[in-house]
Structure 1
Amino acid sequence: MFERFTTEARQLVVLAQQEARELKHPSIGTEHLLLALLDSGSGGAHVILREAGLTRERVVADINRLVRPESVPLGDGDAAALEAIGIDLDAVREKVEEIFGPGALRPPQPEQRQGWLRRKVVGDHRPFSFRAKKVLELSLREAVVLKHRFIGPEHILLGLLREGSGLAAKILSEEGLDFTVLRRQAVAALDKAA
């Protein structure tokens, strides 16, 4: 499938990997694909999302709000109990991250192993989540339906919209974006480029 990716789509996948790494997430999710689509190198998809009012900063804020570190043992109930005795849990988290850096409260990630012989993952590679793989598969299907011999960033946007259940779809929905309108714009951008 990747042989059909345009240079821009390949760069988008690389950027998604970088976004996952920067956010210290163990895998590439739909949210990282969405962040990569907001990069100016993503052509028409970038323009569509920016014109819809989406910015990288807003998406990162939404991701941070929606993805709570699994390792932080204190939840909302704990925050309320601590607040009752005068301790603001969010302020404590912010101060710790200000001093020690983002993700300071997360324990070290266990060593990742993969493959038949359980070989160690080399470097800083992040695997694709199930939903991100589905988005890429759906981008291929969108290209086939549109009778395109290539997969560009707009096809990946179409795949992301069609998948509709991942964190990226949740963010787009919460931001009030209409999937039908975005889809129509992405198809129009592809028709214009062809």
Structure 2
Amino acid sequence: MFERFTQAARDAVVRAQTEARSLDHGHIGTEHLLLALLGSGLAVPGLTYERVRAEVRDRVRVTPDVQPDRDEADAAALRAIGIDLDQVRRAIEENFGVGALHLPRPAPKKSWWRRASGHVPFTPRAKKVLELSLREAIRLKQNFIAPEHIMLGVLREDGGLAALIMADAGVEPAVVRGELERALSARAA
């Protein structure tokens, strides 16, 4: 599928990854694709890059690349084999003093593969948008995928954070769709 992407569309996908990283998000969602498209110059009436970025920052919590706390899962696994962590803690504190188990925790580190590759995974909805961009190109009988096709995919997906942000901003999907299709028709001619 990616062989059909124009350089501008590829740049938009890379920019979506950059947007996710700059916001400390551990995923690339529809919102990051929307930010990338707006940031690369695609115009959507009623939206600005700054407004969407502020919305994304307000609506998505920071999701750093750290392992979730596994204390509860570990405790459950130990209970399953007859070890009660609360009893163990009490025994240690009786023998070594209160607070003996409270050691400073090191700051979480990013996994080596994430640092090395810079990989940020796409959410299922973002993957769907990219698939829908291909379907839009096929529907329009075009053998390339441009940023406008990706935006058509965002509009067609209609369920991710990008769709919510656009709806809250009063964006008319039919109007945007018409403008994008006209631009693509002119480009293909």
Same structural fold, with TM-score higher than 0.5 when normalized by the shorter chain: yes
What letter is aligned with 2:26? Answer: P
Give the deviation of 1:108 after TM superposition. 4.4
2:53 counterpart of 1:60: yes
Give the deviation of 1:109 after TM superposition. 7.0
Q: CA RMSD in A?
A: 1.9
What letter is aligned with 1:184? Answer: G
Give the deviation of 1:181 after TM superposition. 0.9
In structure 1, the residue matched to 2:154 is 160
Q: SS of the residue aligned with 1:165? A: coil
Unmatched segments (≥5 aa) in structure 1:
72-106, 113-119
**In the aligned structure 2, how far is the partner of 1:110 from the partner of 1:13?**
23
1:47-92 alpha-carbon deviations (Å, 9 max, x no partner): 3x1xx13111100111122223479xxxxxxxxxxxxxxxxxxxxx
**In the aligned structure 2, how far is the partner of 1:171 from the partner of 1:3?**
30
**In the aligned structure 2, how far is the partner of 1:9 from the partner of 1:70?**
26
**In the aligned structure 1, how far is the partner of 2:4 from the partner of 2:31?**
23
Larger radius of gyration: 2
Q: SS of the residue aligned with 2:117? A: coil
Give the deviation of 1:111 after TM superposition. 3.6
Give the deviation of 1:190 after TM superposition. 0.4
Q: How many percent of aligned residue pairs carry the same amino acid?
A: 54
Q: Does structure 1 conserve the Cα–Cα contact (< 8 Å) formed by 2:23 and 2:62? A: no
Closer/same/farther in 2, CA of residues 149 and 31 from structure 1, 3 Å limit: same
Closer/same/farther in 2, CA of residues 68 and 170 from structure 1, 3 Å limit: same
Q: Does structure 1 conserve the Cα–Cα contact (< 8 Å) formed by 2:17 and 2:120? A: yes
2:136 counterpart of 1:142: yes
**In the aligned structure 2, how far is the partner of 1:53 from the partner of 1:26?**
28
In structure 2, the residue matched to 1:90 is none
Q: Does structure 1 conserve the Cα–Cα contact (< 8 Å) formed by 2:24 and 2:62? A: no
Give the count of matched residue pairs: 145
1:1-50 alpha-carbon deviations (Å, 9 max, x no partner): 0000001000001111100010010011111100111124x5xxx13x1x
Q: SS of the residue aligned with 1:28? A: coil
Give the deviation of 1:165 after TM superposition. 0.4
What letter is aligned with 1:65? Answer: D
Q: SS of the residue aligned with 1:58? A: helix
2:182 counterpart of 1:188: yes
Closer/same/farther in 2, CA of residues 108 and 163 from structure 1, 3 Å limit: farther
What letter is aligned with 1:2? Answer: F
Q: SS of the residue aligned with 2:179? A: helix
Q: SS of the residue aligned with 1:38? A: helix
In structure 1, the residue matched to 2:119 is 125
**In the aligned structure 2, how far is the partner of 1:32 from the partner of 1:65?**
13
What letter is aligned with 1:59? Answer: V
**In the aligned structure 2, how far is the partner of 1:69 from the partner of 1:53?**
26
**In the aligned structure 2, how far is the partner of 1:185 from the partner of 1:162?**
15
Aligned pairs for 1:99-110 (under 5 A) are 108=108
In structure 2, the residue matched to 1:172 is 166
Give the deviation of 1:123 after TM superposition. 3.1
